[in-house]
Chains A and B, each alone.
Chain A
């Protein structure tokens, strides 16, 4: 069942075409990868899917809805969660608050209720807190619920960020270079972590990564882009052997695998 279907997606910024004619079809429950050299347009694609940019041309279809042009918070409400290349946690709020806030769209009470402190307000705040603590517990992060992210190790921050994205119960999780900045030990943990999430949550994952061990170990299907265009797609094995891919990454002299 197709969860994400992108057709003819193009993004132009003035004279620069960042992405052109992109076609994507992601099935529900899959674990997909998006790779390519720096500046290939990968984050731009994620930004269009999350609603931060409006595509110049093309359609993004998510779970039966056309989502191009929707504002990011509505896209998130429809079921897309996301992490960022440089961790964008709110560093002066507790981990628990970070998790709570990603449920902002589904608070269940109106703007007047925090002032009036109705029963409905307390009921929903408790629901949100319980759900957030439960989620933190699932990732064994419950002990740092009242810590500030800026005081936590980078690897833990990354896990918090992923947990935050999951708190909104998304159907699709976009991970933008989750391994960026992690030590090799942390990367190994991250791979297990993502695999565990994929196995235990009813979720589709789409991941941008540069570190090949992450991509090759996790993804079932990979798309390679360069200069905004798809240059290859396939299983990890197929991609590794693809000469276009090798050329894009290593240039012409790199016939290392030949």
Chain B
């Protein structure tokens, strides 16, 4: 009984880590630009595919030297982060920035984001075709057993990654100069340039960080659940996003905890009910929370001045 519970907790932590990392990405961009980057889940998906291509390439052409899995990972990760950031920055520059500079209604940017997501999904479908791809196994799984509870090194890696990400972001946003600039922009986009803060540079930085995060999540996800399909970003993205909102979108710890909360809800549902109901119950719980407290647990309500 206790074993199952502990096993479930570990699974929930791992599953929730992915939601958290993706939620943090949403949170960053929303925090600065008040923009729900609906394409973020799909950027995560693209990152997983980029990783898949790079790992495949490395394994095929350089395998003679018997490269260790960790080395492959060490090479793939930064390259993927770099390429994914390029994608993120490109999207920002081409699709979002012109609207931002025009002072366009936020609605138009949100729709653009939704459309970008669709293009990424279907572009991927066009390039890689409909069949799923298998992410190759890179590192050897090491299983540690405590009593009857099993935990693999991969699971630990994922959870640690999520925690490290959270700490990193908290530090950057709350303690660094650029973090202060990010927070300032969220309050007043138009007045800030007058204070000498280079808004565009800060925004680009935000997207680089967000996309890199998505890349880390993407690679780790590919390693943990090796089946890739073009729509994987969509459903995980939406869920992570809802989790971020439940936690309080715009707030880093909110997004972080929201992701884990969703992970726990889903794993608990699967263990008590059937896994078919997992999505349904998770969404229903989220809906209820959103209705009771729309700004989420840690979010700050904005009131209208009369």
Partners in one complex: yes
What is the chain B residue whose CB lies nearest that of A43?
B306
Cβ distance A126 to chain B, nearest Cβ, rounded Å: 34
Instruction: List the A side residues contacting B306 at CB < 8 Å.
Output: 43, 47, 52, 84
A43 to B306: give the CA distance in the assembly, Å.
8
Instruction: Sort A-B residue pairs by CB-CB distance and give the 3 closest, nearest first.
Output: A47-B306, A52-B306, A43-B306
Contact with A along B265-306 (1 / 0, CB 8 A): 000000000000000000000000000000000000000001
4 A-B contact pairs sorted by A residue (CB < 8 Å)? A43-B306, A47-B306, A52-B306, A84-B306
A47 to B306: give the CA distance in the assembly, Å.
8
A84 to B305: give the CA distance in the assembly, Å.
11
Instruction: List the B side residues contacting A47 at CB < 8 Å.
Output: 306
Interface of B is mostly: loop
A43 to B304: give the CA distance in the assembly, Å.
13
Cβ distance A131 to chain B, nearest Cβ, rounded Å: 27
A47 to B305: give the CA distance in the assembly, Å.
10
A84 to B306: give the CA distance in the assembly, Å.
8
A225 to B306: give the CA distance in the assembly, Å.
19
Instruction: List the B side residues contacting A43 at CB < 8 Å.
Output: 306
A contact residues, range: under 10
What is the chain A residue whose CB lies nearest that of B304?
A52
Give chain A interface residues in 78-97, CB to chain B under 8 Å.
84
Contact with B along A59-87 (1 / 0, CB 8 A): 00000000000000000000000001000
What is the chain B residue whose CB lies nearest that of A84?
B306
What is the chain A residue whose CB lies nearest that of B303?
A13
Cβ distance A140 to chain B, nearest Cβ, rounded Å: 30
A172 to B306: give the CA distance in the assembly, Å.
19
Cβ distance A45 to chain B, nearest Cβ, rounded Å: 12
Cβ distance B5 to chain A, nearest Cβ, rounded Å: 40
Cβ distance B205 to chain A, nearest Cβ, rounded Å: 34
Cβ distance A84 to chain B, nearest Cβ, rounded Å: 7
Cβ distance A15 to chain B, nearest Cβ, rounded Å: 15
Cβ distance B105 to chain A, nearest Cβ, rounded Å: 14
Instruction: List the B side residues contacting A84 at CB < 8 Å.
Output: 306
Cβ distance A174 to chain B, nearest Cβ, rounded Å: 12
Cβ distance A11 to chain B, nearest Cβ, rounded Å: 13
A52 to B306: give the CA distance in the assembly, Å.
9
A66 to B306: give the CA distance in the assembly, Å.
23
Cβ distance A42 to chain B, nearest Cβ, rounded Å: 12
What is the chain B residue whose CB lies nearest that of A13?
B303
Instruction: List the B side residues contacting A52 at CB < 8 Å.
Output: 306
Cβ distance B299 to chain A, nearest Cβ, rounded Å: 16
Contact with B along A23-54 (1 / 0, CB 8 A): 00000000000000000000100010000100
Cβ distance A6 to chain B, nearest Cβ, rounded Å: 19
Cβ distance A102 to chain B, nearest Cβ, rounded Å: 17
What is the chain B residue whose CB lies nearest that of A82?
B306
A140 to B306: give the CA distance in the assembly, Å.
29
Cβ distance A231 to chain B, nearest Cβ, rounded Å: 24
Cβ distance B78 to chain A, nearest Cβ, rounded Å: 46
A125 to B58: give the CA distance in the assembly, Å.
76
A38 to B196: give the CA distance in the assembly, Å.
30
A52 to B304: give the CA distance in the assembly, Å.
11
Cβ distance B302 to chain A, nearest Cβ, rounded Å: 14
Contact with A along B59-101 (1 / 0, CB 8 A): 0000000000000000000000000000000000000000000
A47 to B303: give the CA distance in the assembly, Å.
14
What is the chain B residue whose CB lies nearest that of A53?
B306
Cβ distance B9 to chain A, nearest Cβ, rounded Å: 37
What is the chain B residue whose CB lies nearest that of A47?
B306
A233 to B224: give the CA distance in the assembly, Å.
74
Cβ distance A21 to chain B, nearest Cβ, rounded Å: 22
Cβ distance A192 to chain B, nearest Cβ, rounded Å: 28
Cβ distance B295 to chain A, nearest Cβ, rounded Å: 15
Cβ distance A257 to chain B, nearest Cβ, rounded Å: 34
What is the chain B residue whose CB lies nearest that of A88?
B306
Contact with B along A159-199 (1 / 0, CB 8 A): 00000000000000000000000000000000000000000
What is the chain B residue whose CB lies nearest that of A46?
B306
Cβ distance A175 to chain B, nearest Cβ, rounded Å: 14
Cβ distance A87 to chain B, nearest Cβ, rounded Å: 13
Cβ distance A110 to chain B, nearest Cβ, rounded Å: 29
A84 to B304: give the CA distance in the assembly, Å.
14
What is the chain B residue whose CB lies nearest that of A176?
B306
A111 to B306: give the CA distance in the assembly, Å.
29
Cβ distance B73 to chain A, nearest Cβ, rounded Å: 49
Cβ distance A111 to chain B, nearest Cβ, rounded Å: 25
A231 to B271: give the CA distance in the assembly, Å.
66
Cβ distance B175 to chain A, nearest Cβ, rounded Å: 27
What is the chain A residue whose CB lies nearest that of B305?
A43
Cβ distance A12 to chain B, nearest Cβ, rounded Å: 15
A227 to B306: give the CA distance in the assembly, Å.
19
Cβ distance B242 to chain A, nearest Cβ, rounded Å: 28
Cβ distance A28 to chain B, nearest Cβ, rounded Å: 26
